[in-house]
Amino acid sequence: QVQLQESGPGLVKPSGTLSLTCTVTGDSISNSDWWSWVRQPPGKGLEWIGEIYQTGSTNYNPSLKSRVTMSLDKSKNQFSLNLNSVTAADTAVYYCAREKKGSDWDGARWFYYYYMDVWGKGTTVTVS
Amino acid sequence: SSELTQDPAVSVALGQTVRITCQGDPLRSHYATWYQQKPGQAPLLVIYATNTRPSGIPDRFSGSRSGNTASLTITGAQAEDEGDYYCKSRNSSANRLKVFGGGTKLTVL
């Protein structure tokens, strides 16, 4: 059974750096999946932060790109999120998730789809 | 605001059918994925690739797409279906990126 667990400080000072780690058990981050971060401010909806692939390739939300860095530690089967220059607007529950990729062939071209099938329980980070 | 638009709230009588919609240009080209979230819990995948259910998701959940609109239909809604529902797809201008809809709060009456 695949499980993901977020860890990191629950309180970060304004202008500081938010650092979270997601530990994966039951799967290898070296597999062909994307490893993602999603956040949810209090009382609001989900926001995609970004993702990292086994090669270290990353995709980030354009609204956060200048402040976000993601990395992998294959020896520990973990991936991490760093968000710098934080403000109160970064206060949220942060989730890590595994995103799988699938494909369909319609006879003429390939279509790709992605889905987050395993999520961590989330960790609350307050900027104050 | 998100590229994907959802109605903020929808209600349905117990046992009736409800459709939750997600509208946006990305859906013309990309698949929709749907997640259910209950208070204090992580999101749960309920539909992917527009209309595929993961193992363990009841068959009363189904998905469809027409033009720029994706729909999640619950046929015979149960009390335990109450919660927030989010659609997700790929960004229309940079399809490596992902985007969530604003979410729909479903109330089962």
Long-range contacts of B51-57, Cβ-Cβ distance < 8 Å, separation of 24 or more: B54/A115, B54/A117
Among A61, A111, A115, beta carbon nearest to B33: A115
Query: How do residues A68-83 score in pLDDT, each as one tens digit?
Result: 999 999 999 999 999 9
pLDDT at residue A32 greater than cutoff 90: no
B1, two tokens? 């605001």
- A34-58 average pLDDT score: 96
Residue B97 and residue A104: Cβ atoms within 8 Å? no
Chain B residue with CA closest to A116: the answer is B45
Average pLDDT, stretch A116-128?
98
In the predicted model, is pLDDT for residue A126 greater than 70?
yes
d(CA B14, CA B102): 24
**Residues 73 through 102 of chain B touching chain A, CB cutoff 8 Å:** 84, 86, 88, 90, 94, 96-102
Dihedral sign computed on CA atoms, order B32, B93, B5, B80: positive
Instruction: Indicate the pLDDT class of residue B1, thresholds 50, 70 and 90.
Output: low
Any B CB within 8 A of A10 CB: no
Q: Is B57 on the interface with A (CB under 8 A)?
A: no
Digit-coded pLDDT (tens) for B77-108: 999 999 999 999 988 776 689 999 999 999 99
pLDDT digit string, tens, across residues B65-74 = 999 999 999 9
Query: What are the structure tokens assigned to A38, written together?
Result: 């999603």
Give the strands of the sheet with B18-23, arranged side by side: B5-6, B18-23, B69-74, B61-66
Count, residues in chain B: 109
In Å, how far is A126's CA from the nearest CA of chain B? Answer: 16
pLDDT given for residue A31 in this prediction: 86
Q: Are strands B104-108 and B9-12 parallel, antiparallel or unpaired?
A: parallel
Question: What is the token pair recorded at B74?
Answer: 């619950």
